[in-house]
Structure 1
Amino acid sequence: MKDQNEVRLTGTTDKTRRIATKTGAPMAEVILTVRQDRFRITAFGNVAEHLLARANAGDRLSVTGSLSVSSWKDESTGEWRNSFAVQAWGVELHGEKVSYERKQQAPPVKSGRRNEGYTAGPNDPF
């Protein structure tokens, strides 16, 4: 059996925001509440466009994607912290299913660094 990194979550959207990219490609970030846990969902391409056009706070959202962990050092306490994020390649919102057009996806860049993802700021909800 091959190693896989696939997660499926269904919950309620809390916030949706557009993220500016250097290339101008569409990117969206959604905070998804699943029971009492909150997850950062990032999406690109047509999935991002769909979320930005249709997702509102309180909507029911199902996400399929890959799970990643970001680590950072809290400047005030000096402790290392972690947050979990899902890069969505498929979503279902208002009964409409949308999946990422993979032909547009660039291959991942391997840097060998632990912190390849999002770096949390002081006002990060996680």
Structure 2
Amino acid sequence: GGAGGGGGRNRGGPGGGPPKASGKKRHRLASLPPSALLARVERRGGGGSFPVHCVAGGKLLELNQRLALEPRLLYDRPCREGYVAILFPSPDAARQLRSRLLSESEYLRVRGLSAEDLL
């Protein structure tokens, strides 16, 4: 189960689904509140799906469209090509987020990864 439980496909759509992608070059960026739904990821083998939410409110710069075609990126390359979205948080949201983040070494330990896994 959970985010590491196997590949799925990133799905979204109208009617309360995740927001539409906004490219970096667009002048109007979507403003998202904290905990806004970014995507629903289906588990492999029909085991349901799980939501991916914003960790802080801010401007949505980009949704990763590659995940729809290459869902394994979410699990195989989460720190590079497998990102879900790029957000630009407000200054207050950024301060609050930084106070809750793990250090790199803590993150690696919790995830059972090495620094080479992030490359």
Give the TM-score category using the shorter length.
Answer: 0.3 to 0.5
Structure showing the higher helix proportion among its residues: 2
- Report the TM-score, using the length of structure 2 for normalisation: 0.34
TM-score (norm 1): 0.32
Higher strand share: 1
